[in-house]
A and B are shown apart, each in its own frame.
Chain A
């Protein structure tokens, strides 16, 4: 029965991963992107405790941007880190609840890396396995 449980979990998760992340993001997070205009790309990753995903994103001078992060509750306090092109840390913050966003103003055009890091195993999340992390961005004049 235990083997069956593992097989069923693996099967169902591989089939439904992106769909679940998409539904979850659209319902719980996407409204927070307003009034910024989406860049049209939904970047969803499956992360386990301690793992990270990265988004390389261009910011253009003269526009404002919103970076939106949507995570599964059980992952805990996911960390958002901004790195420059040489991977130097410029800024970091924690995700509150399952949706957080940051607004940027670009005084000079540049490419930055947004690193999203799930916290290490805790008693709360150790049995949870992988969870959804979605990173999106929008702009406005």
Chain B
């Protein structure tokens, strides 16, 4: 009976690993057939990636400014795993920002930093030697660089979730979002031309609320500190939200779904209004990068 059990379970495991599937035949022929146990319902939070934020900022006229990035030399100061996950998010944002602004040298530096940090965290997929080599081979092709980096983020996220490290996956997202917003807020100049960048940041209020839910959905040692800082940031964001904000609508236009809003044109955001957000973002970023 014992031998039979081993053979049976081995067979099941083998069958589960087979990716090719044929006709629907009930149970084991389906490669993604899973189980018959307790029912579940899952809720996910997707916040804009640093690459998306950098794209928005670039489109609004933001310029590349190297001095705001976290120096790659700082990497050696981080040793605790949760801190390393947050810093991986920060460096990942700096990598995304560099790549969107076509800064190949900085992209290579930050790709290598992400690889080294991933190795220290024991992440076997995503930012690895193979991806660094792919980036080197495609360094002249901006689209390829962006695609390689996005693919690295996705592989890393999959690896962390697959290996029951969802808290690290969340910390990477938190670190990346904060650094992405930090780069935008730090480079705003005191003139009207940066109004569009301010609006982009103001519009991240919804994604901040999703980030807070994501941060609170996991268990990690710095959770209460991060939750407190994000709550203060949410309060600062709330003060510059349009007072007449209402729900959006979805209209189908050909093959495209258009997300519209009944919200009226946004009001001017003054530097004074924006100061509190700037300060809060700096405070969170300083907490994250503190050794």
Cα A44 to Cα B203 in complex, Å, equals 27
In contact, A47 and B40 (Cβ under 8 angstroms): yes
Interface string of A70-111 (1 = CB under 8 A from B): 001110000000101110101100000000001111111111
Q: List 10 A-B contacts (CB under 8 A).
A: A23-B31, A38-B150, A38-B153, A43-B42, A54-B41, A56-B45, A58-B206, A105-B259, A129-B37, A131-B34
Give the number of chain A interface residues (Cβ < 8 Å).
80
Measured CB to CB, the closest approach of chain B to A4, in angstroms, equals 6
Chain B residues with Cβ below 8 Å from A20 are: 16, 31-32, 34
Residue B221 is within 8 A (CB to CB) of chain A in the complex: no
In contact, B258 and A110 (Cβ under 8 angstroms): no
Residue of B at shortest CB range from A39? B49
In contact, B19 and A27 (Cβ under 8 angstroms): yes
Q: Chain B interface (Cβ within 8 Å of chain A)?
A: 4-5, 8-9, 12-13, 16-17, 19, 21, 24, 26-27, 30-37, 39-49, 51-52, 55-56, 59, 146-147, 150-151, 153-154, 156-158, 161-162, 169, 173, 200, 203-204, 206-207, 209-210, 213, 247-250, 252-253, 255-261, 263
Interface centre among B32, B169, B252 (most CB of A within 10 A): B32
Knowing that A8-B8, A45-B41, A108-B260 are A-B contacts, what are 16 other residue pairs whose CB atoms are under 8 Å apart, sorted by A's residue number? A8-B9, A9-B12, A41-B44, A41-B169, A46-B34, A47-B40, A56-B46, A58-B48, A63-B56, A82-B250, A84-B248, A104-B259, A107-B260, A109-B203, A128-B30, A129-B34
Chain B residues with Cβ below 8 Å from A73 are: 21, 24, 30
Which of B13, B151, B257, B260 is in CB contact (< 8 Å) with A16? B13
In contact, A112 and B41 (Cβ under 8 angstroms): no
Which of A5, A12, A19, A38 is in CB contact (< 8 Å) with B154? A38
- When A20-B16, A88-B247 are in contact, do A58 and B34 touch as well, CB less than 8 Å? no
Which of B12, B34, B46, B48 is in CB contact (< 8 Å) with A130? B34
In contact, A106 and B259 (Cβ under 8 angstroms): yes
Chain B residues with Cβ below 8 Å from A127 are: 26-27
Measured CB to CB, the closest approach of chain B to A12, in angstroms, equals 5
- When A8-B9, A53-B44 are in contact, do A72 and B30 touch as well, CB less than 8 Å? yes
Residue of B at shortest CB range from A132? B32
In contact, B157 and A40 (Cβ under 8 angstroms): yes
Measured CB to CB, the closest approach of chain B to A95, in angstroms, equals 14
Cα A15 to Cα B162 in complex, Å, equals 9
In contact, A9 and B35 (Cβ under 8 angstroms): yes
